[in-house]
Amino acid sequence: MQAFGDGGLVAAVSLIPVDVPGEFATARTDPNGAYALNEVLPGTYNLKFEGSGFATTYLRGVEIHGGDSLTLPTVALEISMFCSWPYRPEWLQLGKPDQTESGELSGTVLGKRRKPVANVEVILRNETRTLSMITGTDGRFRFSDLAPGSYDVSLHRKSYFDEARKDVHIQGGFVGVFRPIVLERCSLAGRDPALRRRKVIRCE
């Protein structure tokens, strides 16, 4: 199996078979960010990308078939930030084979009791495009056919505080599965018109 990492990155890549604890293979990227894992048995695998100064990235559910050579899209690792925690995906999944140049974003909206919240307006925007959708009863949302790059995500639902996530990075060829976003119900203080006029909060 062959794939390419972020150019110039020296990192370890671990190939971990699904449901086979304790068995894995490891490779390191070369100066150009390329790596290869050879003689891989057929099966479904998870990959773990980690390097000093970079956030660990997971790629799940990679299927290897007998006699096949698989080339993965470029995996871009984000610089690790100790002073802040950007909204990065919990893991990546391979996108559709015919959409190697575009990416997808998948996430879930939960309430304080970790139950899905329906009817949340989720707005995704960058400098050139704005998209929106409403969560279903499972609290899930998913945006497809996204150009790689940085996006902002905002969420609004009546009787809940608004939430937002900045600089959400989308990678071409992958589905980014993000950590759940938790919405908090408005308190009586949150409905104070004076606070709303000052744009301290938005709660309707």
pLDDT in tens, 26-70: 888 877 788 888 878 888 888 888 877 778 888 998 888 887 788
Give yes or no for a contact between 111 and 183, defined as CB atoms under 8 angstroms apart.
Answer: yes
Query: Is residue 16 located within the same domain as residue 55?
Result: yes
Q: What is the DSSP letter of 44?
A: E
What CATH number does the domain containing 41 carry?
2.60.40.1120
pLDDT in tens, 70-100: 888 888 887 776 545 557 788 899 988 777 7
Residue with tokens 């559910």: 61
- The first and second tokens of residue 147, run together, are 């150009």
The alpha carbons of the chain give a radius of gyration, in whole angstroms, of 20
Average of per-residue pLDDT values in the chain: 80
The 10s digit of each residue's pLDDT in 119-130 is 999 999 999 999
Domain CATH for 193: 2.60.40.10
Confidence of residue 15 (pLDDT cuts 50, 70, 90): low
Domain that holds residue 8: 1-85
Count of domains forming the chain: 2
Please identify, among 17, 50, 85, the residue that sits at the C-terminal boundary of a domain: 85
129 neighbors 143 (Cβ within 8 angstroms)? no
pLDDT category at 136 given cuts 50, 70, 90 is: very high
At residue 188, the pLDDT reads 56
Q: Select from 56, 85, 114 the last residue of a domain.
A: 85
